[in-house]
Amino acid sequence: MDDREKKMIWCVEDDAGIRELEEYTLRSTGFEARGFEDGRSFFEELNRLFNKSGRNALPGSCRAEQNAMPDSGREKQNAMPDSGRTKQNALPDSGREKQNALPDSGRAVSVGLSVSGNFSSDALPELVILDIMLPGMDGVEVLRRLRKNPETAQIPVIMATAKGTEVDKIQSLDLGADDYLVKPFGMMEMVSRVKAVLRRCAPVSAGRLLRAGNLVVNLDEHSVLAEGQPVSLTLKEYDLLVLFLQNPGMVFSREQLMSRVWDTDYLGETRTVDMHIRTLRQKLGACSDCIETVRGVGYRMRK
């Protein structure tokens, strides 16, 4: 992965061994990574970066709330990354190796923690791996605050926890988590899920876009999204959809569609139009009602 394309991943995990292994794995697979031991240090760093860039701070997120951090009156042993103090749980020097056990492997592996960590300390996270069972402010509360604030609402979040019940998963997903990892999980599974979530959450290219409700066609990429999910269309289905989207509200007869899309005036083939409209609607799923049938005339795109 080119340095210009590296994505910054923040890992919020109170277990130092797991956190360091997550960071190492992400860096060794082409990402940038930073780790935080609890919700408070995570929000403190977010606020520092927001304040530095002139953006709004997260209301109430970095205050030492009595019900959030029981030991908030004591100085934290692990300073923030920009404080100049050495963290006691910092990664070992690059010449040494640390024995870490992959959470789901049952065997120790020798992890050389020499992967370059020369990333920008001022890079905001493009995805957060968030453990639920955090001290003080738990992961569910961290997620709730992220989703509540407009500045952080769109940051993708993967929840990680040893609690793998359906109720826990539903609660996290309902609050806006983008995916869920159940401990023990493999590091390569984590990387695969990170890549998948980043793909799903990537902004649509600012190219030529056609929209109708939750239906989006990117003309430059020749791609279609319905309810945020990619839709695979045949060439003629795609051409029909583009024609409708470019002319919302305009009624096209079957003969006009044959001429515009199939470049033919043969009237005996108009049933082909009906067949393609039917399959197009099926593929669009919940967005299919944007294509209306005008009885006795033809079809149009709902305004």
Q: How far apart are CA 82 and CA 40, in angstroms?
A: 15
User: Are residues 221 and 128 located together in one domain of the fold?
Assistant: no
- Check whether 89 has a pLDDT greater than 60: no
pLDDT for the residue numbered 239: 94
* 231: CATH: 1.10.10.10
156, 172, 201 - which closes a domain: 201
Q: What is the pLDDT averaged over residues 269-278?
A: 87
Select the more confidently predicted residue: 65 or 52: 52
- Check whether 79 has a pLDDT greater than 60: no
Average pLDDT, the chain: 79
| Residues 121-152 pLDDT 10s | 678 999 999 999 999 999 999 999 999 988 89
Q: Give the range of the structural domain holding residue 229, as residue numbers without chain letter.
A: 209-301
Q: What is the pLDDT averaged over residues 173-194?
A: 91
Select the more confidently predicted residue: 284 or 62: 284
| Residues 209-235 pLDDT 10s | 999 988 999 998 899 999 889 999 999
Q: How far apart are CA 61 and CA 15, in angstroms?
A: 22
Burial 90-114 (b: 16+ CB within 10 A, else e): ebeeeeeeeebebbeeeeeeebebb
pLDDT for the residue numbered 204: 55
- Residue 171 burial (10 A CB sphere; 0-12, 13-18, 19+): middle
Residue 161: what are its φ and ψ, rounded to 5°? -160, 160
140, 167, 201 - which closes a domain: 201
| Residues 255-271 pLDDT 10s | 999 888 887 766 666 68
Q: What is the pLDDT averaged over residues 112-123?
A: 54
Q: What is the DSSP letter of 135?
A: S
User: Are residues 181 and 228 located together in one domain of the fold?
Assistant: no
* 164: CATH: 3.40.50.2300
139, 167, 201 - which closes a domain: 201
pLDDT for the residue numbered 200: 84
pLDDT for the residue numbered 169: 77
Coil, strand or helix at 95: coil
Residue 229: what are its φ and ψ, rounded to 5°? -105, 140
Q: How far apart are CA 37 and CA 90, in angstroms?
A: 12
Which of 94, 76, 73 minimizes the C-alpha distance to 85? 76
- Check whether 77 has a pLDDT greater than 60: no
Locate tokens 């929840």: which residue? 159
Q: How far apart are CA 11 and CA 1, in angstroms?
A: 20
- The tally of domains found in the chain comes to 2
Which DSSP string corresponds to 16-56?
HHHHHHHHHHHHHTT-EEEEESSHHHHHHHHHHHHHHTTPP
- Check whether 57 has a pLDDT greater than 50: yes
**% of the chain with per-residue pLDDT over 90:** 52
- Check whether 173 has a pLDDT greater than 60: yes
Coil, strand or helix at 70: coil
